[in-house]
Chains A and B, each alone.
Chain A
Amino acid sequence: VPVFPWHSLVPFLAPTQSD
């Protein structure tokens, strides 16, 4: 049975925000 990592469920990586 394949196991998928939790973060694969989030469809996009938002732009990194600088502090």
Chain B
Amino acid sequence: SPVALPPFFMRGSIIQLADGELKRVEDLKTEDFIQSAEISSELKIDSSTVERIDCGQSPNAVLIQFSVGELKAQVCVEVLVEYPFFVFGQGWSSCCPDRTTQLFELSCAKLCVGDVCVSLTLRSLR
């Protein structure tokens, strides 16, 4: 089933960066993710390129296939069309930006095949 939209995507939500700084979700920049991952002991930032966007099994859901990192690991996630992803150098983007803006007041660009999203991996194998 698609991942529901969590409350922290609502405009005005307070996000704590890894260095303790607080920012509103709509003010986050690519550098905030990069710098937070740099000082994280557990998480490493990686790039995930959107390879396909298909209709999901539920209404208002989409299946997004990503190619992750240098090894191009394939990851498929089913989310609601309004679910925002953070695109490097661009910011929040969703498959249906109008709906994201309507529901969460978060301005979004349209997520497209070829967009490179922020993703995370664990720093080391356990």
Contact = CB atoms under 8 A, between A and B. Distances in A.
Interface in A1-19: 1-18
Contacts, number: 77
Contact of A14 (B13, B40, B120): B120
Interface SS majority for chain A? loop
A4 B8 contact: yes
A16 to B, nearest CB: 5
B125 A15 contact: no
Interface of A: 1-18
Interface of B: 3, 6-9, 13-18, 22, 25, 28, 32-33, 36, 40, 43, 46, 48, 66, 68-71, 73, 75, 77, 79, 83, 85-86, 118-122, 124-125
The 5 closest A-B pairs by CB, nearest first: A4-B8, A14-B68, A14-B121, A6-B36, A16-B122
